[in-house]
Chain A
Amino acid sequence: MYSEELVVGWACRKVNRPVKWTSDRTEAFLADAHGRDHVAHAEMAMDKNGKFLAMRVNTTANLGAYLSTFATMVPSYLYAFLLAGQYSTPLIYSEVKAVFTNTAPVDAARGAGRPEATFLLERLVDVCAEDMGLDPAEIRRRNFIPVDAFPYQTPVVQCYDSGDYNAALDKALALADYEGFAGRAEEAKSRGKCRGIGLSSYVEACGIAPSAAVGQLGAGVGLWESAQVRFNPTGNVQVFTGTHSHGQGHETTFAQLVTEQLGVPIENIEVIHGDTSKTQFGMGTYGSRSLAVGGVAIAKACEKLIEKGKKIAAHALEAAEGDIEFADGNFAIAGTDKAMNIAEVAFNAYVPHSYPEGLEPGFDENAFFDPMNFSFPAGTHICEVEVDPDTGVVEIVKYSAVDDFGKLINPMIVEGQVHGGIVHGVGQALLEGCQYDSDGQLITASYMDYAMPRADNVPSFDVDYAPTNPPHNPLGVKGCGEAGAIGAPPAVINAISNALGIKHIDMPATPENVWRAAQTATS
């Protein structure tokens, strides 16, 4: 929450007039919560086969001038608890020092803690591969949590639900034509370009969070989600969700869930969210949780409607409740052609002229869902770059992503989330760097000074899936909103490091930084 929001709420009463405030972009740069800002040292101990024995990580995290709402959790629970990544490293020790500075508060930013953990781990794994003389794909394979080990308890609290990390890696290697890379590098060299390829195998924790899990961390509220599914007498449906949509397309995805379950045409379903006077209490949308938690609440409300509908249909059709079956939007007496569709049942429920005692009118149900665990999407992203050593310009020539999001409700929307996440991650890797000078003046306070990724900075992407079935989630879904932002930064930096034959380059790998690294590498 922000000062401006509270002040506007207070001021409108104080002056007894409507008050509007809109940030301009410079104010957004100055006073929106910023993201990331870690300095870290990481070490991995290995046996002679490149098997990870233990990891040690020391991190300093900048929280800015004040604690923003989520600030303390991002570099601690959302960071250290993801440091196992996709690997069976048995021992992990992390120390996080969080510090105040005279800069804007730092808080959650797409991925929140998980991109920081993944960048550190996936960069370190590439350094390990180099040190052991192993191919980056091979060292990952040797250390992956095996498919038969799930549910898998990591040494850092999290218990992963499901995963098949080799499957995603294999598919990504094929999609990226990893085998053919050497030939492409050779061809690029003939043009004076350095070509590099980089892998990133990430895990993220979504569906934040089960109340029991956050309760152990000292939480006093639950993190369930709620839904209400209401039929109107004319048979159309209003779905009230406690989640919030700001680009994710819930109005469509949630309607798909309802049309699937209740057989109501999608055009007769309206999803309503984002207003405390319309919707029941909800926790909102963050951490890619809306479908994995909020979607299930909707499904549970639909189940209740079906149960109630059977009672109403039994009464109307003069049959026993146990004889009523529901399929494709119709309540039918089993083995007969006597049936009512769900819209007729809804009308009947609001015109209860001859209801017996005990049969409650109305066709409107609430449900809450509190998941048993986080969900753990995972995947392998592969980035291929061409670096011009004379200018330091990096071109992403190919980007392949294979993710496990569980079941997809709307593949078009999921793919869009992946694209957007990747470019957010590419932005961090190549372009975006928020800079304060030593007096604390923000010197990147506009789009003139802070480089956002634009259409000509990125290619089109190759996206595929290697789904597994998370046993804790009744819909079999995991969450997809942050994967790209988590997977992309190490994939891009691993590719640049590979292209230049260097150990590491810090983000953002701007032309200047890359040019300097290229000069050092060749001198």
Chain B
Amino acid sequence: MAENGVGASVRRKEDYRFLTGKGSYTDDLNVVGQTHAYFVRSPHAHATINSIDTAAAAAADGVVAVLTGDDLAADGIGPLICGVNVTSDDGEPHRAPVHSALAQGKVNYVGDHVAVVIAETLAEAKDAAEKVEVDYGILPAVTDTATAADDDQQQIHEVAPNNQCYNWPFGDKAAVDAAFESAHKVSSLDLVNNRMVTNPMEPRAAAGEYNSGTEEITLHLTTQNPHVHRLVMSAFNQLAPEHKLRVVGPDVGGGFGVKIFRVLRRVGCRLGLP
């Protein structure tokens, strides 16, 4: 075995920078002319957006821009995608509601993204965010897993009757049922798998920079897979062509799946490839 080779508990090469405060996480990056973004989020779990008035916020101290879902749509930025198809028992693909990065006409959970305020300082962005006037039409909320698909529940998405995304059976039901019929003993259990918030210690962050000379966007992200981020932002969201978009995952403070992005859908089809 080579010294420090396979099987050796080599002390980590990355530790010195982390132990001396020299790690470089996304929020540690600062560039000249940097502005700060703060999101206006829905305080309601389920509501229509009747109107958004950004005038007062846009006029507030230090504000560079206040942007909404309409601006996003006008620029042709596509919705967020889900990458994996599951075929339901009716033979149809799973139901996939449109997920705009900034809400368009409706919010569907507390924290949903309504608008973004960009200002010279974070404090100014936060102050201005409070001046964005949103007229909501509050709808009943669905929160319980077990009863979400019941007939009397409020519908969340038109494309998903009974709030069902899919019903996916797998296995030979008849054979299994027959085995149960003839079993010596059947044990059963009802259980809940509790909802968790993953909580890597570094909160998510994004820092974008545009070079108008080269027309290139550089995006530093708390990401577990920068290339796939770039591919999807380019192919599905039309943010910029892949060769004009650089995605960097600098030091990332824990992932555990929350900062992951992957796509299994037919990217090739979307790109018009065979």
Do A and B pair up? The answer is yes
In the assembled complex, the Cα of A273 lies from the Cα of B224 at a distance in Å of 10
A106 CB within 8 Å of chain B: yes
In the assembled complex, the Cα of A407 lies from the Cα of B8 at a distance in Å of 12
Q: A28-B203, A70-B262, A103-B109 are in contact. Are A260 and B256 (CB under 8 A)?
A: no
Q: A33-B198, A36-B195 are in contact. Are A65 and B101 (CB under 8 A)?
A: no
Select which of B38, B41, B258 is within 8 A of A109 by beta carbon. B258
Select which of B195, B227, B230 is within 8 A of A283 by beta carbon. B227
B176 CB within 8 Å of chain A: yes
Contact between B170 and A38, CB atoms less than 8 A apart? no
Contact between B67 and A7, CB atoms less than 8 A apart? yes
Which residue of chain A has the shortest Cβ distance to B166 in the bound complex? A98
B228 to chain A, nearest CB (A): 6
Contact between B83 and A69, CB atoms less than 8 A apart? yes
In the assembled complex, the Cα of A17 lies from the Cα of B212 at a distance in Å of 10
Contact between B257 and A110, CB atoms less than 8 A apart? yes
Contact between A109 and B113, CB atoms less than 8 A apart? no
**Which 5 pairs show the lowest CB-CB distances between chains A and B?**
A284-B225, A440-B45, A30-B111, A220-B266, A260-B5
In the assembled complex, the Cα of A6 lies from the Cα of B235 at a distance in Å of 13
Residues of B within 8 A of A46 (CB): 183-187
Q: A22-B26, A93-B170, A100-B148 are in contact. Are A10 and B41 (CB under 8 A)?
A: no
Select which of B109, B208, B248, B265 is within 8 A of A104 by beta carbon. B109
B17 to chain A, nearest CB (A): 10
Chain A 278-297 against B: per-residue CB contact (8 Å), 1 yes, 0 no?
Answer: 01011111100000000000
Chain B 175-203 against A: per-residue CB contact (8 Å), 1 yes, 0 no?
Answer: 11101100111111111111111111001
Residues of B within 8 A of A60 (CB): 145-146, 148-149
Residues of A within 8 A of B132 (CB): none
B34 CB within 8 Å of chain A: yes
Chain A 400-411 against B: per-residue CB contact (8 Å), 1 yes, 0 no?
Answer: 000000011111
Residues of B within 8 A of A508 (CB): 194
Q: Besides the contacts A54-B175, A54-B183, what 11 more A-B pairs have beta carbons closer than 8 Å?
A: A20-B29, A20-B34, A23-B204, A39-B192, A76-B170, A93-B170, A96-B167, A246-B255, A252-B10, A409-B6, A435-B195
Residues of B within 8 A of A8 (CB): 37, 206-208, 219
Contact between A282 and B227, CB atoms less than 8 A apart? yes
Q: A95-B168, A251-B14 are in contact. Are A4 and B206 (CB under 8 A)?
A: yes
Select which of B36, B44, B75, B149 is within 8 A of A440 by beta carbon. B44
Contact between B268 and A220, CB atoms less than 8 A apart? yes
Q: A12-B208, A101-B142 are in contact. Are A96 and B110 (CB under 8 A)?
A: no
B136 to chain A, nearest CB (A): 13
A219 CB within 8 Å of chain B: yes
Residues of B within 8 A of A437 (CB): 143
Contact between A214 and B183, CB atoms less than 8 A apart? no
A363 CB within 8 Å of chain B: no
Q: For chain A, which range describes its interface: under 10, 10 to 19, 20 to 34, or 35 or more residues?
A: 35 or more
Contact between B192 and A109, CB atoms less than 8 A apart? no
Contact between B157 and A100, CB atoms less than 8 A apart? yes
Residues of A within 8 A of B240 (CB): 9, 13
Residues of A within 8 A of B50 (CB): none
Q: A20-B29, A30-B110, A276-B247 are in contact. Are A92 and B208 (CB under 8 A)?
A: no
Q: For chain B, which range describes its interface: under 10, 10 to 19, 20 to 34, or 35 or more residues?
A: 35 or more
A426 to chain B, nearest CB (A): 12
Select which of B75, B217, B267 is within 8 A of A220 by beta carbon. B267
Select which of B27, B184, B189, B233 is within 8 A of A47 by beta carbon. B184
A118 to chain B, nearest CB (A): 10
Residues of B within 8 A of A336 (CB): none
A43 CB within 8 Å of chain B: yes
Contact between B207 and A19, CB atoms less than 8 A apart? yes
In the assembled complex, the Cα of A281 lies from the Cα of B39 at a distance in Å of 32
Select which of A2, A27, A123, A409 is within 8 A of B191 by beta carbon. A123
B141 CB within 8 Å of chain A: yes
Select which of B27, B171, B197 is within 8 A of A155 by beta carbon. B171
A295 to chain B, nearest CB (A): 10
In the assembled complex, the Cα of A156 lies from the Cα of B171 at a distance in Å of 7
B52 CB within 8 Å of chain A: no
Select which of B36, B71, B226 is within 8 A of A21 by beta carbon. B36
B259 CB within 8 Å of chain A: yes
A479 CB within 8 Å of chain B: no
Contact between A102 and B45, CB atoms less than 8 A apart? yes
Residues of A within 8 A of B46 (CB): 102, 440
Residues of B within 8 A of A433 (CB): 194-196
Contact between A252 and B12, CB atoms less than 8 A apart? yes
In the assembled complex, the Cα of A77 lies from the Cα of B163 at a distance in Å of 21
Residues of A within 8 A of B111 (CB): 27, 30-31, 104, 442
Residues of A within 8 A of B246 (CB): 275-277
- 14 A–B contacts, CB within 8 A, in A order: A11-B208, A19-B36, A19-B37, A35-B196, A36-B193, A36-B196, A45-B179, A71-B84, A218-B85, A221-B263, A274-B252, A424-B256, A435-B195, A503-B189
Contact between B207 and A20, CB atoms less than 8 A apart? yes
In the assembled complex, the Cα of A19 lies from the Cα of B7 at a distance in Å of 44
In the assembled complex, the Cα of A133 lies from the Cα of B155 at a distance in Å of 47
A217 to chain B, nearest CB (A): 7
A42 CB within 8 Å of chain B: yes
B55 CB within 8 Å of chain A: no
B181 to chain A, nearest CB (A): 9
In the assembled complex, the Cα of A218 lies from the Cα of B46 at a distance in Å of 33
A53 CB within 8 Å of chain B: yes
Select which of B10, B187, B230, B257 is within 8 A of A124 by beta carbon. B187
Select which of A21, A95, A440 is within 8 A of B109 by beta carbon. A440
Contact between B34 and A18, CB atoms less than 8 A apart? yes
A121 to chain B, nearest CB (A): 10
B56 CB within 8 Å of chain A: no
B197 to chain A, nearest CB (A): 5
Contact between A54 and B261, CB atoms less than 8 A apart? no
Q: A14-B67, A20-B34 are in contact. Are A97 and B97 (CB under 8 A)?
A: no
Chain B 52-67 against A: per-residue CB contact (8 Å), 1 yes, 0 no?
Answer: 0000000000001101
Chain A 43-87 against B: per-residue CB contact (8 Å), 1 yes, 0 no?
Answer: 111111010011110001111111111111100110010000000
B144 CB within 8 Å of chain A: yes
In the assembled complex, the Cα of A219 lies from the Cα of B37 at a distance in Å of 35
Which residue of chain B has the shortest Cβ distance to A81 in the bound complex? B170
Q: A95-B169, A260-B5 are in contact. Are A32 and B109 (CB under 8 A)?
A: no
B82 CB within 8 Å of chain A: yes
B144 to chain A, nearest CB (A): 7
A41 CB within 8 Å of chain B: yes
Q: A38-B192, A424-B256 are in contact. Are A286 and B118 (CB under 8 A)?
A: no
Q: A120-B191, A507-B192 are in contact. Are A286 and B225 (CB under 8 A)?
A: yes
Residues of B within 8 A of A277 (CB): 246, 248
Contact between B173 and A20, CB atoms less than 8 A apart? no
